[in-house]
Structure 1
Amino acid sequence: MASEKTTTLKEFKDNLLESYRKEFPNDEPTICAFAPGRVNLIGEHVDYNDGFVFPMAIPLGTMILGKALDNSTNNNKCYIQTLSNDVDEPKSIEVDLTKEISRFESPKWANYVVGVLALFLERTKPEKRQSFRIIIATSVPIGGGLSSSASVEVAMCTFLELLYQYSSMNFQPLSKVNKALLCCKAEQTYAQVPCGIMDQYTACIAEADHALLIDCRNNTSQSIPMKNKDVCVLVVNSNVKHELVAGTYAQRVQHCQEAANILGHKKLREVSSIEELEKARDKMSSVIYKRARHAITEIKRTEAGAKALINNDYNEFGRLMYDSHESLRDDFEVSCEELDQLVELARSVDGVYGSRMTGGGFGGCTVTLVKKSSVEKCIDTIKKGYKGTASFYEFEPSNGTCSVNLKKD
């Protein structure tokens, strides 16, 4: 029972080129940008609490293909089209660069793109605004908890950097951290999702064969090697969809901030110990207490998890993964029946170190650390026991965003 085939960067580029040429005959694109999705190994719902998170980039991602247009002949308009089947209509939009760039009420997908465009222009202040045409494709399952949105945002920002590098002698590209911050702000203000920095940061800064221990308080990171080819990161998509904008995510953010306020801190990262929380338990509702307990203990688990991987202690890392899932299920209440079932099925397989839900929750994916020799057995066990239809991905840690060479290989 095999996992899904992961499209290579070259295959992705060739397929997108074919789509572009069908859409725009007798026209050739000149710029191509890619940004990866990510899977968070441990450290869930703590980035907006200024905590530690421990993601890695994955080979799936978003690619944007396009070219600069002549401002004088197309009235300073940008043409943006998505090839995704999993987003709302219409699949193409226009943006007038002579006007203020506002968020779209519909289609919602557009805000992840135009938000980056608006903030990029505001931040870089180019001598003249350059119109363009792009098409966007993503291989990241939308709503799967693998950060399809951040991959779109970071790919868009990389495309714009390339566009303005070609069109302006004086353009200075953003630092990787500032690029991540800009994309995060775009999602918060245009898509109106109160996300933390983890997803965009990973898409900008990740390295192949490494996970990233990110300190979300000061936006610094440490690359932790993951080079043991006998160990596999297996991601299982429950194929249960969720939409973060629906309010559950924002509610959890609000709960955590309320707990921090009661404890007299700016963020829950500043809580020194679980004992500090216990002393204030009678000052908060049971729901707020549970949300805080998850965040405080998850931050500690993430630090411990990074140390375990540095020491190649996969058994300890796996134990922390199971603890993380139970906390997300019981204290943060963002799991669901399908995710719980996937974790328990993985736990039953010899050679599985640990498993947990990953991403925002209420569907999406689990991440499992498993011996390479046990992957097939794990997939087979889940396939037979899961009440839904799952998809399986074997991932190795991948690089962050990049430009893609359009010359023939």
Structure 2
Amino acid sequence: MPQSFDFSTPTSTGSTPPSEFYDGSDAVSSYVPVISSLSAVYSKSALPAQEQRWGSLVALFRQLYPNEDLTFIARSPGRVNLIGEHIDYSLFDVLPMAITQDVVIAVHVGGADGQIILNNTDPRFPSRIFNIADLKDIEIDATVHEWSNYFLAGVKGALSLLPLAEIPSMHCLIDGRIPTGSGLSSSSAFVCAALLAIVTAVKAAAPHSESFANAVTKSDLVQSAVVSERYVGVNSGGMDQSASVFGVPGHALRVQFYPELKATPVAFQSDEFAFVIANTLVVADKHVTGPIHYNLRVVETTLAAEILANQCGLGPLPIRDGFGGTLRGVVEAFKARGVDIPGVMNKVNEVFSKPEGYTLAETAQLLGQSEVEITQKYMTRFPVRFERFQFRARALHVLEEAERVKKYCEMLNHAPADHSDGDGEEKYLRALASLMTASHRSCRDLFDCSCDELDELANLAVTNGAYGSRLTGAGWGGATVSLVPKDKAVEFVDCLKKQYYLKRFPGISEDKINDAICITEPALGSAVLVGNYNV
């Protein structure tokens, strides 16, 4: 296996790397950085394994494409959401962070075949070839679970972002290390990496074109990736893509969607804790279960907002992405009338007084629209299946969770200055973690997006010394994130291995367990790497 990977100097052969396309001056700059060292991407502890991985990637690329130079490698990481679940598509702030696990795409630009060739390091995903001439009219069938659809979603995003651009021939090798269905946003990372690879290839093929030079920012990439992922049937709110693109080492990101997209790094001012991600190994595939889970919650929160506006005389709400109003719009409308968040929650309880929920006919009556109108407007682009809408519970979760995000950020920004008081430090960490625990309860009881395995892992985490624990990601499977004392993190991981993985999955391999649970740290977001690909 290759033992090293050298990005020390720029390439001298092949297509010109598009370094002028990004300023790369710092991790929070407007443009995605072009870098030449893996040490700028991964921590010291993660670097040895990553050097081997990237070395293997380059070696396989050369086997697959023996006569082609490697032009660049694009990468985007997964994310873990610390707090703020299912509120991004209602335009409330969230607090994720990018993680080490990522999707990387090695690319040769400029072949004469007029094709995009996709290979994957995972043999489960067969090669795919697409003619560039067909891409502008290509349709993605979201009902078919096909791995290359995520790359094609990036193609459609690039064509929308750069309508005058010509996509060059691209021969690609893709390597993803984010477990699918784990709640760590593997699909969003793939779409972001694909979109970045295509935009970078366009620039590499025509570095002096004025139609898109210095025109694509991180915000552009995020907004395009949000729309692009909808081509594969997921109505995402934007948190996943923002964390993947904007990630900053050593920081969480307060991602704001109102009044415009903004990602603000929030430093961890205490170093006495660690985050541990534990995958339930229950696959939560938004593509498959969207109609009864994720997409249904988007529809429920959207309809709740529209009904509140109609019943409370708030007038038309600002529309999100042509889909409908948001609960953030409701809060802002009430705020203009002097009504605070507790007052809005009272209105929610008044308007949605039926604990059993609402049928489509009852929903139509509350909105003053026909069932056909509601179905066509809210349930056609992203089909849903339901018996009754649970408007009150969904709206209360969103409003309460938004308040928890505010408090969590305030606590991070005002960590105890004096770390000598051990009791004070522990009280602070327990108070921080209590917000995470409250978030999990709300996801379980109000938003109904937990599952038995998530609840078990969260309970085991607290039993084994975590300050707090919660599901992270869409839920219905996937992973938990736990706040644990830093000096007990390794012991904590061992306990979960014995009490959850070995107990639930007898005979599970050590490698699979190690893939499922990890001590994580906030990582760099999207980047393009160029240099000497010496293995």
User: Taking structure 1 as the reference length, what is the TM-score of the superposition?
Assistant: 0.91
The aligned amino acid for 1:60 is Q
Query: Cα distance, 1:201 vs. partner?
Result: 1.0
- Candidates 67, 78, 99, aligned match of 1:37: 78
2:133 is paired with a residue of what secondary structure?
coil
Instruction: State how far apart, in whole Å, the 2-side matches of 1:303 and 1:119 are.
Output: 32
> Shift of the alpha carbon at 1:69?
3.1
Assess if the C-alpha contact under 8 Å between 2:97 and 2:251 holds in 1. Answer: yes
The CA distance in 1 between the partners of 2:165 and 2:139, in whole Å, is 24
CA shift digits 1:224-270 (9 cap, x unpaired): 11254431111011111111122210001111111111211531124
Alpha-carbon distance in structure 2 between the residues aligned to 1:51 and 1:158: 26
* Secondary structure in structure 2 of the residue aligned to 1:334: coil
Query: Paired residue for 1:95?
Result: 130
Matched, 1:400 2:516: no
Contact between 1:210 and 1:227, CA under 8 Å: does it hold in 2?
no
1:388 Cα deviation after fit:
2.6
- How far 1:202 moved relative to its partner? 1.2
Residue from 267, 275, 284 that aligns with 1:242 = 284
Is the 1:6–1:60 contact (alpha carbons within 8 Å) kept by the matching residues of 2?
Answer: no
Distance 1:103 1:237 in 2: 33
After superposing the two structures, state which structure 1 stretch, 278-287 or 41-50, moved more: 278-287
Bigger mean CA offset, 258-267 vs 33-42: 258-267
* Per-residue CA distance 1:100-152 (angstroms, 9 max, x = gap): 34233345322221111122123213453311111111111111010111111
Equivalent runs, 1:299-310 vs 2, <5 Å: 299-310=402-413
> 1:82 matched to which residue of 2?
120
Determine the structure 2 residue equivalent to 1:346: 461
Alignment of 1:200-219 (within 5 A): 200-217=241-258, 218-219=260-261
Q: Is the 8 A contact 1:238 1:388 kept in 2?
A: no
Aligned 8 A contact 2:74 2:526 in 1: yes
Partner residue of 1:181?
Answer: 223
Judge conservation of contact 2:348–2:396 (CA < 8 Å) in 1.
Answer: no
Task: Quote the offset at 1:160 in angstroms.
Answer: 2.0
| Cα displacement (A) at 1:198 | 0.7
1:278 is the counterpart of 2:346: yes
Q: Aligned partners of 1:16 and 1:32: how far apart in 2?
A: 10
Q: Closer, same or farther in 2 for the Cα pair 1:358/1:280, shift >3 Å?
A: closer
Give the structure 2 partner of residue 25 of structure 1.
66
d(CA) in 2 for partners of 1:150 and 1:172?
25
Supply the distance in 2 between the matched residues of 1:361 and 1:330 (Cα, whole angstroms): 13
Query: Which of the residues 401, 404, 410 maps onto 1:298?
Result: 401
Alpha carbons 1:274, 1:297 under 8 Å: kept: no
CA distance in 1, matches of 2:104, 2:432: 33
**2-side partners of 1:101 and 1:204: how far apart?**
27
1:288 corresponding residue in structure 2: 391
Q: Which has the larger radius of gyration?
A: 2
2:7 equivalent in structure 1: none
1:47 matched residue in structure 2: 88
Cα distance in 2 for partners of 1:92, 1:146 equals 25
Stretch of structure 1 that moved more, 47-56 or 111-120? 111-120
Aligned to 2:451: 336
Conservation of the 8 A alpha-carbon contact between 1:103 and 1:111: no
Mapped partners of 1:257, 1:127: distance in 2: 35
Which residues of 2 match residues 49-198 of structure 1 at below 5 A? 49-70=90-111, 73-74=112-113, 76-84=114-122, 91-99=126-134, 100-105=136-141, 106-168=144-206, 169-170=208-209, 171-173=212-214, 174-188=216-230, 190-198=231-239
* CA deviations over 1:272-311 (Å, ceiling 9, x no partner): 4243233343533432111111111001001111111122
C-alpha distance in 2 between matches for 1:151 and 1:6: 19
Q: Which amino acid aligns with 1:130?
A: P
1:388 to 487, 498, 504: 504
CA distance in 2, matches of 1:103, 1:338: 37
Q: State how far apart, in whole Å, the 2-side matches of 1:177 and 1:196 are.
A: 14
Offset of 1:17 from its aligned partner? 0.9
Alpha-carbon distance in structure 2 between the residues aligned to 1:341 and 1:134: 41
Structure 1: which 5+ runs fail to align?
none
Give the RMSD, CA atoms, in angstroms. Answer: 2.0
Of 339-348 and 218-227, deviating more is 218-227
The alpha carbon displacement at 1:6 in A equals: 5.0
**CA distance in 2 between partners of 1:128 and 1:302 (Å):** 42
State the shift of 1:61 in Å.
Answer: 0.3
Q: How many residues align?
A: 397
User: Within 2, Cα distance between the matches of 1:215 and 1:129?
Assistant: 32
TM-score by length of 2: 0.71
